[in-house]
Amino acid sequence: MSLSGAAARDRKRLIVCCDGMWQDGILTQDRLLYTNTLRLARTITNEDTRSDPPIQQIVFYQSGIGSERNLYDEYVDATTGGSLGIYSPSLILRPRSLSPADKVEEAYGFIALNYFPGDEIFLFGFSRGAYTARMVAMFIGAIGLLDRRDMDNFARIFIAYQRLAKKRQLLTDELHAFTKPDAHGLQRVNTPFSIKCVGVFETVGSLGLPDELTLDLKKATLIFGFPDRALGGHIEHAYHALALNETRRDFDCAKYERAREGLSKGQILKQCWFGGCHSDIGGGYRDHDLADIALIWMAANVQDMLSLDMEYLRSVPSPIAPWGSQKPHNPRTGLASLFFATERKLPLSVNNITNETIHPSVLEQAELPSALVDAIAAGHTLVEHLLPLEEEFKAKWIVEREPQDVSPTQKHFILDYCIIA
């Protein structure tokens, strides 16, 4: 059916929100511990009444890897990507981890089974959920959207892509029926941009165990034959919030890199650095000033594309410090104190490949890397301007309470360490 026919059927928006490891917004009762993925999912309204007729907005929230509350599953799945179906001889005794799809298949399947030509697709995620969202986007770019019947082949396609890096030619031939230009899945999304937007907080590209704890599970780090930093030309808008103060090497961020195709099509890419560690940006701490600033930045960038419940969004912040000045949490606590440390590569100038900028809130931090301070002082246009919605929240930012205790993620690290030891 033509896109004009789809428009006559009232197009809809399919929004997938993939949470970070150990995060389950369905079971979490304490609002202070919500991640930005969950907050964003609950901020998106059921329909956009700014359009005539209103556009239906259907949200699918996916809990994070290891959120099943089984401690052994939490550790192995969250640190090895077991629930993404990674094969490793070490995981043979873990039947649940041998599922060939799970998170990626679940998210892709939701879109494929509900999509009608002309619908708009949005993908959001945090941490390994951000990686899941980006892999779903890559699958859509590679094979389009399979219909209900073709979804019977998804498990085979999924496994083939896992092996693609080692046997590229053989598997390229095997996948040809699904990747050729006239493949049915690709024809279903035959538009300049098949994905309206990908918005992620702190993409973790490593899905293996931290090197400090690795035995033969290190072989589990490879997942798909996709280049994990490439921004596909089929994505119209991409937004990535990055943590300035994350020092764990195994939590290194996978920045997007824009290709020539995206540049020629007018693709929008924004990657913005914020003060804080990994979970300061994606959420999960009781004291979440820094996460709120990143969330509002994301909302400000997508609000013209999605209808948001501004009343709910305004209820999220409960500041413990003046705007932008909360001290970042120390990410290397508990078991994480054993992780190798690293310094992230920060932008010292703007380029159109990664298009990285510094959020103005960073300037309120007490300590900044000297090279970054020098670059800003030299007049480089690194610091981006606040959008109107961000200006509104900054103007109304009032300290409400005293700092509270550690996040559940920190507690998991401590408990996991005791069990393993």
Residue labelled with tokens 């949470």:
19
The reported pTM is 0.82
Q: Domain count of the chain?
A: 1
Residue range 94-141, pLDDT digits in tens? 334 333 358 888 999 999 999 999 999 999 999 889 989 999 999 999
Beta carbons within 8 Å of 192's beta carbon, 6+ residues apart = 236, 265
Query: Looking at residue 155, what is its pLDDT?
Result: 84
- Enumerate long-range contacts of 308-317, CB under 8 Å, 24 or more apart: 308/43, 308/44, 308/45, 309/42, 309/43, 309/44, 309/45, 312/42, 312/43, 313/39, 313/43, 314/393, 314/396, 316/39, 316/292, 317/289, 317/292, 317/393, 317/397
- What average pLDDT does the chain have? 79
Q: How far, in Å, CA of 46 to CA of 56, rounded?
A: 6
Beta carbons within 8 Å of 52's beta carbon, 6+ residues apart = none
pLDDT top residue among 12 and 32: 12
Structure tokens at 110: 């939701």
- Specify burial of residue 304 (Cβ count, 10 A radius: 0-12, 13-18, 19+): exposed
Q: What is the mean pLDDT of residues 366-382?
A: 83
Residue range 44-96, pLDDT digits in tens? 999 999 999 999 999 999 986 655 554 444 444 444 444 444 333 333 333 34
Beta carbons within 8 Å of 145's beta carbon, 6+ residues apart = 111, 112, 115, 185, 188, 189, 194
Contact 221, 306 (CB under 8 A): no
Beta carbons within 8 Å of 35's beta carbon, 6+ residues apart = 19, 20, 23, 25, 126, 282, 283, 284, 291
- Which residues form the domain of 220? 3-420
pLDDT interval class at 348 (50, 70, 90): confident
Q: Where are the beta strands (DSSP E) in 204-245?
A: 230-231, 235-243
Predicted confidence (pLDDT) at residue 354 exceeds the cutoff of 60 = yes
Query: Looking at residue 378, what is its pLDDT?
Result: 80
Contact 411, 70 (CB under 8 A): no
Query: Looking at residue 42, what is its pLDDT?
Result: 96
Q: What is the mean pLDDT of residues 281-293?
A: 95
